[in-house]
Homo-oligomer: A and B are copies of this chain.
Amino acid sequence: MTKAVLLVLLVLVAVCSTQGKPEQKNIPKRGKRIPQTLSRGWGDQLIWAQTYEEALYWSRWRNKPLLVIFHLEDCPHSALMKKAFADDKEVQKILDEDFIVLNLMYETTDKHLSPDGQYVPRFLFVDPSMTVRADITGRYSNRMYAYEPVDMKILLESMAKAKKLLKTEL
């Protein structure tokens, strides 16, 4: 009897260990990579659109303004702003509830998204009517869509402006 129980147990263990066997997935030569996130550090709890087309679709569908952030991973200004942005609970909460968000490291073909050049970091708001809100700017006259970590209040003001949606023509 004891033997039978032991045998059953052994079989169970064998089955479990087969099921638990790691899959034969490809591991790159230079070692296992951490999967890339869509947030890229700009707020892991936000739901990020992948592409501009997708973001415009969601913006129209949900009638929420869109925030597009252009940045680069090796740009120290982007890195500092990213940290301030991700750590700002109020900014993150409002974006989560009232905005569609997209961060891009490559320019799109839409020139409206670079009204005064293709610098980074650059924050552009787009109305659900698909109008780029070139009127919503930060405080730098030479880089009108730039914000720095000290400008989080100005960014909140810009977000408040973007929430007042434009009226679309009937």
A residues in contact (CB < 8 Å) with B: 23-28, 32-33, 35-39, 43-45, 47-48, 50-54, 57, 86-87, 89, 92-93, 96, 104-109
Contact = CB atoms under 8 A, between A and B. Distances in A.
A46 to B, nearest CB: 8
B50 A104 contact: yes
A105 B54 CA distance: 8
Nearest to A55: B106
A90 to B, nearest CB: 8
Contacts of A47: 33, 36
Contacts of A57: 106
B87 A25 contact: yes
Query: 10 smallest A-B Cβ distances: which pairs?
Result: A26-B92, A54-B106, A35-B44, A36-B38, A35-B37, A26-B93, A26-B89, A51-B51, A24-B89, A53-B106
